[in-house]
């Protein structure tokens, strides 16, 4: 039954993702495209773009959209439940323990090692999306312009997305 496959695929993604939604993207890409073949790379990138533009965590939005694309309403319910189950369980189990052990030097050393790995996972996701999306010079210019606007101005990310969409309509429409 595909909804159970979605649940367990996203449960695995949720279990092994530390650092949030962007860290999950390489895991989602591997599981959804390579392992199960539920989506094409282009469909995946489109879903990630939608997940980024809609309110809420990118991992949950991605799971919801991928679940819906794969198996309709119940697919979205099961995929979303799968991705949030590990976080919910872990938060409930370790919230109290963390207060007692956070200052432990072994715990601190573990987190020190995890932080750079999270950067690597985010970079991996960015490279995957770039390879799939930057199909021509104009697309690359859109990416560079968005990066520069977000890095060196105070423009709100929603405005940058709206400008990119308008630019896409003008250039590609």
Say which range, 18-22, 90-94, 110-114, 134-138, has the weakest mean pLDDT.
18-22
Residues 107, 145, single domain; the answer is no
Question: Given this model, what pLDDT does residue 111 score?
Answer: 86
- Do 117 and 146 lie in one domain? The reply is no
pLDDT at 49: 86
Is residue 19 pLDDT above 70, yes or no?
Answer: no
Tell whether pTM > 0.75: no
Region 46-67 average pLDDT:
87
The confidence band for 133, taking pLDDT boundaries of 50, 70 and 90, is confident
pLDDT top residue among 95 and 111: 111
CA dihedral 24, 140, 40, 172 (to 10 degrees): 130
Do 163 and 99 lie in one domain? The reply is no
Whether residues 79 and 153 share a domain: the answer is: no
Distance CA 160, CA 142 (A): 10
Instruction: State residue 23's pLDDT score.
Output: 76
Contacts of 107 (CB under 8 A, 6+ apart): 101
- C-alpha span between 172 and 165 (Å, rounded): 10
Alpha-carbon gap, residue 133 to 107, rounded angstroms? 39
Residue-number span of the structural domain to which 126 is assigned: 2-133
Calpha distance 154→101 (Å, rounded): 39
Total domains in the fold of the chain: 2
Residue 74 is predicted with a pLDDT of 98
| Mean pLDDT of the chain, nearest integer | 89
One domain for residues 71 and 140: no
pLDDT at res. 82 = 96
CB 64 within 8 A of CB 79: yes
Query: Do both 129 and 140 map to the same domain?
Result: no
pLDDT of residue 43: 92
Length of the chain in terms of residues written? 173
Q: What is the pLDDT of residues 35-53, one digit of tens each?
A: 999 999 999 989 888 888 8
- CB atoms near residue 83 (< 10 Å): 31
Whether residues 92 and 167 share a domain: the answer is no
Q: Is 93 exposed, middle or buried (0-12, 13-18, 19+ CB in 10 A)?
A: exposed
pLDDT of res. 140 = 94
**Given a cut of 90, is residue 77 above it in pLDDT?**
yes
Tell whether 107 and 173 lie within a shared domain: no
Residues 160, 150 contacting (CB under 8 angstroms)? yes
Question: Are residues 84 and 104 in contact, defined by beta-carbon separation less than 8 angstroms?
Answer: no
User: Of 41, 33, 69, 57, whose CA–CA distance to 134 is shortest?
Assistant: 41
User: Nearest to residue 9, comparing CAs of 35, 48, 46, 42?
Assistant: 35
Residue 143 sits in the same domain as residue 124: no
């Amino acid at each position: 039954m595909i909804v159970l496959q979605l649940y367990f695929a996203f449960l695995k993604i949720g279990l092994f993702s530390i650092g949030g939604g962007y860290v999950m993207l390489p895991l989602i890409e591997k599981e959804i495209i390579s392992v199960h073949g539920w989506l094409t790379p282009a469909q995946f990138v489109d879903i990630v773009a939608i997940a980024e533009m809609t309110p809420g965590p990118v991992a949950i939005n991605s799971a919801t959209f991928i679940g819906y694309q794969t198996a309709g309403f119940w697919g979205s319910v099961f995929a979303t439940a799968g991705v949030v189950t590990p976080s919910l369980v872990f938060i409930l189990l370790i919230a109290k323990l963390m207060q007692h052990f956070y200052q432990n030097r072994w715990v601190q050393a573990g987190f020190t090692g995890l932080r750079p790995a999270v950067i690597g996972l985010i970079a991996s996701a960015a490279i995957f999306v770039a390879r799939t999306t930057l199909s021509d010079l104009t697309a690359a210019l859109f990416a560079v312009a968005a990066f520069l606007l977000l890095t060196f101005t105070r423009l709100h990310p929603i405005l940058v997305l709206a400008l990119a969409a308008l630019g896409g309509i003008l250039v590609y429409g």
